[in-house]
Chain A
């Protein structure tokens, strides 16, 4: 019976496949195709180690295959004729203890060097962004004036950065542990409530880089996505300027659809969770949003308002139309076509472009019934769990049209 070790053949097959896979065009989260300086460092670190592992794989599995074939008993008689009853060999034992230890030590040295190098702080003038994870979306807050508070820009879903520069991230969370990961730019870092973890990324080329939350965080962990948008410095500066303007308000006698949408927003529950600067700042305190005290099986504190979010936050919508995604980057706000992608962060400036590139169906479906679009606990469970997600507000189609018209003004 042939004893060709399938596993022995699997190795080279896997290696070929991995190589081919690495060349796949549609692999936007491929760690083996880095597009940022730190991801590159990690790739350079691991490739030689994969090679060493490959050699050991061939030696051990090849050895096993060789032994299996070479020392097979030919027949029962051969089986009964005992081979030399060797009990051991101290030299070999020491050899195959020390040699692997040395190889591992060498790898360990490189590993430790890389750990400390990658832990070095970015330059003081690096763009400083606080990354906050909550169920099930990412908030990004910028500290532009270096005062330690991340309040100049508050945005969500799309992390906009200047290309070619180190970005100083401070990663935290508001509810459970999440993990922020844009594979082509760097490894991942956990977002833990009550803790802040420094991390850094750098994009080599302008473009968009996607990633996902990579620490299980409940229902929509699989749909808590990351998008990094790297812009040329000039474009980034323009974006920064535009992000710091307030949204327009509408007079009470304005009967346009946008004004109706504005009134729908401010009159419904939306107003209590989503901040639109210039519109409903008074809903939210200076120290950011309200504190919540949660009822834990009779323990201290009570849910003060059943209507509100467990994390106390929903995405800031002030400049919604400068983003390409929404709903925790699960859905495209801006259609993912070459033309629309080329428009970049200013895609919603022209009416024609909005018509062409806004994914109206996705946005309307979301407003119509958010829990049907993304798994969330959109209703509180009294006494146990506050609301975690956007509820179904049972909007009429008219209200949806009005809200969309108004949202489009949030450039």
Chain B
């Protein structure tokens, strides 16, 4: 049995100093409802919901930017956007979608689900988790404030040097880009450390690494990728920051700089970044497909290892973004080969998902539709990716719409389709009602058609020689028809998402009106989050589950009978935890993460406009850190009746036990629960 006080990763609780807290202002907040409870929450579930909601808002912003692009490009010699306006719009579209939409949606799922799937009550560092979210939000707001403060960034999301310098981009837009992303990067790094420690240290008894669901595994690999990739981007961004604001000359060609330095730094981050974006979605559908096929995931070890392989190999392919950049034939050849081979573990996943469905009993409710959407659309994107890997002919494809087609197929058709499926799948667990399935199916088909109409023709446009990042194109080049079709497709996508948002509103209204409770396990699923009530109780698990095998919950519901046929042996209702929070002590809420996070954008604005704002921001940050350190370990009247949690292996003092950072209840499985376990 794993506990937090023994073993190599032991985190023993400290003893409380017993100092009374003199300052009322530093008391832990106690609100459990209302907006105050949201801004002070350290609950991983609420943080996950906030990540998701923020991502959807940024998705609307990025989507409007996309529609502006498509309107401008619907016809040759478009006049809707000037060159300058277009350059800002396409830069912000890419930056927003990558950093403020796809990554936070992944974070939403990982934050909400990883503790549940490993049987924990929260992440390792709950206040740090809240800090990550608020810092991310601040970075996103700072980046988008550029629109109101002189114009968006206009150097492309990849922002190559020397164009990203002051001489060639004299507006402040790129400073906002820089600052916003440096700040958002802090959030990702803190989150990475948090989730890695959580996965390694806080698994329930019996939850060995190779019993973790594939979603958690993909999440773990993603966190390691973030841990090593974000610092590279941050380093490049600091060099740029010093060039732009303080007169450094890292990328100044007059001082002898080689602009390829930026390219290398960016893409060493940028390639792992795409796996950061897609691996969580791979994890999502790896949960959905087995449930809707009524079979286990085919090849669990291979799914885990291929994810790890992608994580490792992703570091060795970055210069495939640079085949035309003049790096020389030896480099080009090496990266061409490595890029070929990274298709292998990804292909393994595709085949395993299909094999899971093979021989199953497929129920095409919305989650499965989206999951199969990912499998098929990602395959298309992966195939065009293989054609890019042929470096010589990639010199015809790179920087054209063929590439735009490729990455939208893998990121939108891949990651985003998977995430929408995940929303449909986990919505009942998170909110206590299902999203309407009929509408969900309509939603899916309109999205599929719109998506293919938008990005399918871009393959043709690229091969016909239409470069990317161009604010207009000319008549007489053969680009007219497919650009027009693509614009129609874009508005079809927008329609499908309006339907999705409408579905949320109507489903919620219907659920409130009907007052029916949502079952704990509405899909007859396999992993631990379905063994507790819906919506998830604040304390997650009444008692720490004990895990005996992969898909433990499933095996407590279904067993092979004497004839070798797999039959149901228990109802979900009898196996799920009733949701009794007695005796549970949760990490207490705190305002200080928000305070620190608010300070950071002020530092950003200050560096751009007026250093006095940096002082304001800095004071907020320092005050926040002090508050964080000095606030009491927990709220005076903790939620469910403060109650000495006793049990084997418990420290005597319940004060010490209540120190922030203690997640587990040390209850062992009860007698009856033991009896229910069939090995």
Residues of A within 8 A of B (CB): 1, 3, 5-8, 10, 14, 17-18, 21, 24, 26-32, 39, 41-43, 45-46, 49-50, 53, 56-57, 60-61, 63-64, 67-68, 71-73, 78-79, 81-89, 92-93, 96-97, 100-101, 104-105, 107-108, 110-112, 114-116, 118-119, 135, 171, 175-177, 179, 181, 183, 186-190, 192-195, 197, 211-223, 292-294, 296-301, 310, 375, 377, 381, 384-386, 388
Contact = CB atoms under 8 A, between A and B. Distances in A.
Given A21-B460, A45-B390, A294-B167, A27 B477 contact: yes
A84 B392 contact: no
B308 interface: no
B392 A115 contact: yes
15 contacts: A41-B392, A45-B392, A100-B344, A104-B340, A108-B336, A115-B332, A176-B259, A177-B161, A177-B325, A188-B395, A192-B258, A194-B259, A214-B468, A222-B470, A384-B167
B391 A115 contact: yes
Interface string B166-179: 11111000000000
A304 to B, nearest CB: 13
B341 A42 contact: no
Contacts of B470: 212, 221-222
Contacts of B441: 1
A335 B257 CA distance: 42
B387 A186 contact: no
A104 B343 contact: yes
Interface stretch (B82-90, B633-641, B644-652, B655-663): B82-90
A30 B464 contact: yes
Given A112-B333, A222-B472, 11 more contacts: A6-B445, A6-B452, A28-B465, A30-B463, A67-B354, A71-B357, A87-B300, A93-B352, A179-B399, A187-B324, A213-B467
Given A26-B478, A93-B299, A176-B162, A183 B392 contact: no
Given A114-B393, A384-B166, A189 B326 contact: yes
B460 A195 contact: no
B256 A194 contact: yes
B347 interface: yes
B415 interface: no
Contacts of B249: 296, 299-300
A386 B84 CA distance: 17
B296 A57 contact: no
Contacts of B363: 73, 79
Contacts of B252: 296
Nearest to A191: B326
Contacts of B460: 14, 17-18, 21
Contacts of A31: 396-397, 463-465
Interface string B436-476: 00000100010011001000110110011111111111001
Given A86-B296, A97-B348, A177-B162, A187 B386 contact: no
Given A49-B387, A193-B259, A294 B393 contact: no
B395 A186 contact: yes
B84 A3 contact: no
Contact of A57 (B165, B258, B358, B383): B383
B35 interface: no
B358 A71 contact: yes
B355 interface: yes
Contact of B395 (A42, A63, A176): A42
Given A26-B478, A84-B359, A86-B298, A375 B82 contact: yes
B302 A88 contact: yes
Contacts of A171: 326
A87 B296 contact: yes
B609 to A, nearest CB: 14
Nearest to B476: A26
A111 to B, nearest CB: 4
Nearest to B258: A194
Contacts of A45: 390, 392-393
A24 B478 contact: yes
A388 B341 contact: no
Interface residues of B, number: 116
B376 interface: yes
A111 B334 CA distance: 10
A73 B368 CA distance: 13
A314 B232 CA distance: 38
Given A85-B566, A96-B347, A216 B163 contact: yes
Contact of A82 (B347, B457, B478, B566): B566
A92 B324 contact: no
A88 B298 contact: yes
Nearest to B480: A26
Nearest to A55: B383
Nearest to B90: A216
B238 interface: no
Given A29-B464, A85-B295, A193-B162, A107 B448 contact: no
A112 to B, nearest CB: 5
A384 B170 contact: yes
B3 interface: no
A88 B299 contact: yes
Interface in B272-328: 293-296, 298-302, 324-326
B452 A10 contact: yes
B326 A215 contact: no
Contact of A197 (B156, B246, B247, B326): B326
Given A86-B295, A87-B300, A71 B166 contact: no
B498 interface: no
Interface string B69-108: 0000000000000111001000000000000000000000
B389 interface: yes
A83 B387 contact: no
Contact of B361 (A83, A97, A181, A377): A83
B354 A63 contact: yes
B163 A217 contact: yes
Nearest to B384: A53
Contacts of B383: 53, 56-57
Contacts of A21: 460, 463-464, 478, 482
A223 B294 CA distance: 56
A96 B348 contact: yes
B339 to A, nearest CB: 9
A1 B445 CA distance: 12
Contacts of A384: 166-167, 170
Most buried by A among B258, B456, B463: B463
A300 B169 CA distance: 19
Nearest to B393: A46
B167 A386 contact: yes
Contacts of A83: 293-295, 359-361
Interface in B349-401: 350-352, 354-355, 357-364, 372, 375-377, 379-380, 383-384, 386-387, 389-400
B393 A187 contact: yes
A16 to B, nearest CB: 11
B408 interface: no
Most buried by B among A5, A30, A63, A78: A63
A27 B163 contact: no
Contacts of B260: 192, 195
B160 A215 contact: yes
B245 interface: yes
B558 interface: yes
Contacts of A195: 258-260, 326
B477 A111 contact: no
Contact of B336 (A3, A93, A112, A297): A112
A281 to B, nearest CB: 25
The 3 closest A-B pairs by CB, nearest first: A187-B395, A29-B465, A299-B247
A175 B161 CA distance: 10
Contacts of B165: 296
B337 interface: yes
A65 B87 CA distance: 40
A186 B603 CA distance: 48
B162 A32 contact: no
Contacts of B355: 89, 92
